[in-house]
Amino acid sequence: MSDNNIKGPDKKFNKKGFTLIEILIALAIFSIGILGVASMQILSVNYNSHARRLTEATTRGVETLETLMTLPYDSDDLDSGSSYEITDGIYTVSWDVTADPVLDFKTINMTVTWSERGTAKIIRFNYIKSQVI
């Protein structure tokens, strides 16, 4: 049966296309999907920011630790029982040294701290430096 054979009031409702309700439902579904993607994007930016700060803190701690490793065993920066602190921007690198006179080595306990969104973050490193004879 073709469209030409339809007579009367049914002919005007037999048009092809979308109704306004179908378009509104499609827009609502699309909007919900876009909101989900937007929230994932915000989380992604936050996690990337945290990862960058964590990497910077780790780099500062490792750089300081490598500097301490190159110092002589009896250096002032490696005195047993002393605490040291360096502040660089938002990061604070602090360390203390404990010596074991029997085994002739020093343990360097290093902490890197910073504040992120009002919360204190901490990374810890430990290193044992032996006296080379």
pLDDT digits (tens, 9 = 90+) for 12-32: 666 677 788 999 999 999 999
Which DSSP string do the residues of 30-97 spell out, in sequence order? HHHHHHHHHHHHHHHHHHHHHHHHHHHHHHHHHHHHHHHHHS-TT-GGG-TT-EEEEEETTEEEEEEE
- Residue 10 in domain: no
Domain that holds residue 44: 18-130
Average of per-residue pLDDT across 32-40: 91
CATH of the domain at 99: 3.30.1300
pLDDT at 4: 59
Query: Other CB atoms closer than 10 Å to residue 112's CB: what's the count?
Result: 26
- The reported pTM is 0.68
- Residue 5 in domain: no
Domains held by the chain: number: 1
pLDDT at 117: 84
- Residue 1 in domain: no
- Residue 47 in domain: yes
- Residue 13 in domain: no
- Residue 9 in domain: no
pLDDT digits (tens, 9 = 90+) for 70-126: 888 888 888 888 788 999 889 999 999 988 878 888 999 999 999 988 889 999 999
pLDDT at 6: 56
Q: Count Cβ atoms within 10 A of the Cβ of residue 108 and give its class: 0-12 exposed, 13-18 middle, 19 or more buried.
A: buried
SS3 133: coil
pLDDT digits (tens, 9 = 90+) for 41-64: 999 999 999 999 999 999 999 999
- Residue 11 in domain: no
Q: What is the 8-class DSSP label of residue 20?
A: H
- Residue 12 in domain: no
